[in-house]
Structure 1
């Protein structure tokens, strides 16, 4: 099976790099599994995004909660849309500002995926 590349949208890679190492290890392994078409046991569909194409990994460490959101909707790559530390102590709901950022990142990923696939079609076309 081909391993899909991981593309980082916006500041997601930089944000993830600030997480504690045990959290980075879990997210890294989950992304590796996504690259080969599998799903990590901690990966759950993010509500409000229409199915299992947008997944969220929630990992607790030292009393703090960290989240990484990625999509497997596109055939060319796994896109990491957002990585953040949950600030609120109340409830499990993802803050609206983070949902908005994830939506923007998903649009950017879709645009990138379409452009990459179109580029591959053009480069694979037979020349006269």
Structure 2
């Protein structure tokens, strides 16, 4: 991932840790009410995404960062959605002291 993109994603996470929200952060479709946000950044003809959640107390969990390679427009590829769901469940278990 290019350094400029990493800087933007890092700043978005930094703002989230302080209770703020990056101007590019928006709810990830399909995760309503889960406090799952994504930041999308275009760089040199490629699109990158960072997905995180602020749902669990004061912790911010980075769930997935990836280069979008789908040819289906702006839709998030299904395998990435499934990975985000799995990591969201793991974050919930961690925030709950390991209990599911």
Q: Which range, TM-score by smaller chain? A: over 0.9
Give 1 or 2 for the bigger CA radius of gyration: 1
How many Å separate the matches in 1 of 2:22 and 2:7? 12
User: What is the CA RMSD across the aligned residues, in angstroms?
Assistant: 1.5
CA drift of 1:52 comes to 6.2
CA drift of 1:65 comes to 0.3
Aligned: 1:96 with 2:70 = no
Partner of 1:106: 88
Taking CA–CA contacts closer than 8 Å with sequence separation of 6 or more, which of the two structures ends up with the larger relative contact order? 1
Runs of 4+ in 1 over 4 A off after TM superposition: none
CA drift of 1:72 comes to 0.2
Q: How many residues are paired up?
A: 99
Deviations 1:24-75 (A, max 9, x none): 0100100000000000001010011113600001000000000010000011
Gaps of 5+ in 1: 1-18, 119-128
User: TM (normalized to structure 2)?
Assistant: 0.93
Partner secondary structure for residue 49 of structure 1: coil
Query: As a proportion of its length, which structure holds more helix?
Result: 1
